[in-house]
Structure 1
Amino acid sequence: MANVTFKGNPVTLLGSEVKVGDKAPDFTVLANDLSPVTLNDSKGTVRIISVVPSLDTGVCDQQTRRFNEEASNLTGVKILTVSVDLPFAQKRWCGAAGIENVQTVSDHRELSFGKAYGIAIEELRLLARGVFVIDKNDQVVHAEYVPEATEHPNYEAAVEAAKAASNQ
């Protein structure tokens, strides 16, 4: 399992770590209108799944804005931001932040995504920070578990993995 800290304190991640080359695990999260969203809903497209503890914090806000900007340079790539924030809070945050190129989805109900990707923090019932890139065939081509949940992921590596997957 990935070793992750939150504000310097070690945390326990639930589920199994996902690695490059793995078949992407399915999950069910909620869209801002409370409708279910699964991995299969975007089958046949390249996906960047950006995982954040809460949109209402500085690094999470910046991470989501960064992927929203990167989306304009990524043709045929769907970007999801997953957090355990309630769908209503995500919708409010997106409206205030002007986020239009990233779909925010909530894992608050069952931690389905968090457990499937081994990124749910047991002690806090939050998700750790990470980024996954999944190709058109549901293969994981990039997996990053950020070692300290309050720090930024490697944006460039995720974007490059998505571009490479799009060109296959």
Structure 2
Amino acid sequence: MNTVKTMLGLCAVLTLGLMPLQAVAQSGSPARERGEVVICRGVEAHTCGPMVKVGQEAPDFRAVNAALEEVSLSSYRGKRLILNIFPSLDTPTCALSVRQFNARASKLENTVVLCLSMDLPFAQSRFCTTEGLDNVVPLSLFRSRDFVEGYGLRLADGPLEGLMARAVVVIDEDGRVIYTQLVKTISDEPDYEVALKALQ
């Protein structure tokens, strides 16, 4: 009988000890650990970490092009870069942002626009071919852990969890971040003019 009581007592202690851990697991990480706050389809969502900052060296990453080849950010060193980051080409605003940057990119010297999303390379290539977009470079992040870790822009919760938030990052010839915008409401377009002014 004493053994049974001892075992029950131990179980109670263990259960009480695990309750705070259980509560943390259920409630999720604190907002500061979840990164930035955005509005996605009318509800608050969070990115997986803090966004890359102006003044820092742009973290290198690998992404996949239409030929299923891995392309690294560092391979564009010496070029000015606009990273147009978005959830999916299958949404009107994302498609519009690619068209807008494509139209403006032809007027920029020594500048490459990389369009980055979780869309598969086949879908990206088909979209750009159908639309006649040849001034931007579509790259898929579907297996790019280093982009997720370095830029903090994957959605950690909300209706589009797992996809990228909408953002623009501008990088100079030396690989330094000179402008960022995280679009607070994902259905809104980025500020094209301000992003382009960062390169003037």
Range of TM-score over shorter length: over 0.9
Q: Does 1:78 align with 2:117?
A: no
Is the contact between residue 71 and residue 79 of structure 1 (CA under 8 Å) also seen in structure 2? Answer: yes
Gaps of 5+ in 2: 1-34
What is the match of residue 138 of structure 1? 175
Show CA shifts across 1:103-160 (max 9, x none). Answer: 0000011343233111101231100000000001111000111001111111001111
CA distance in 2, matches of 1:111, 1:60: 22
- Counterpart of 2:93, as a letter, is V
Residue aligned with 2:53, SS: coil
Q: 2:195 aligns with which of 141, 158, 161?
A: 158
Q: How much has 1:19 moved relative to structure 2? A: 1.3
Residue aligned with 2:106, SS: helix
Q: How much has 1:32 moved relative to structure 2? A: 1.1
- Counterpart of 2:111, as a letter, is V
- Structure with greater helix share of residues: 2
- Counterpart of 1:137, as a letter, is D
Q: 2:85 aligns with which of 40, 48, 51?
A: 51
- Structure with greater strand share of residues: 1
With over 3 angstroms needed to count, the CA separation of the structure-2 counterparts of 1:53 and 1:111, relative to structure 1, is farther
With over 3 angstroms needed to count, the CA separation of the structure-2 counterparts of 1:127 and 1:111, relative to structure 1, is farther
Runs of 4+ in 1 over 6 A off after TM superposition: none
Q: How many residues align?
A: 163
Show CA shifts across 1:37-89 (max 9, x none). Answer: 11101001100000011011100010000000001110110110000000011
CA distance in 1, matches of 2:181, 2:70: 25
Q: 2:184 aligns with which of 133, 139, 147?
A: 147
CA distance in 2, matches of 1:40, 1:50: 17
- Counterpart of 2:178, as a letter, is V
Residue aligned with 1:151, SS: coil
What is the match of residue 7 of structure 1? 41
Residue aligned with 2:82, SS: strand
CA distance in 2, matches of 1:134, 1:146: 18
- Counterpart of 2:117, as a letter, is S
CA distance in 2, matches of 1:102, 1:89: 15
Gaps of 5+ in 1: none
The CA RMSD measured in Å over matched residues stands at: 1.2
CA distance in 2, matches of 1:111, 1:63: 24
Q: Does 1:68 align with 2:105?
A: no
TM-score of the pair, normalised by structure 1: 0.93
CA distance in 2, matches of 1:142, 1:148: 19
What is the match of residue 105 of structure 1? 139
TM-score of the pair, normalised by structure 2: 0.78
What is the match of residue 130 of structure 2? 96
- Counterpart of 1:97, as a letter, is E
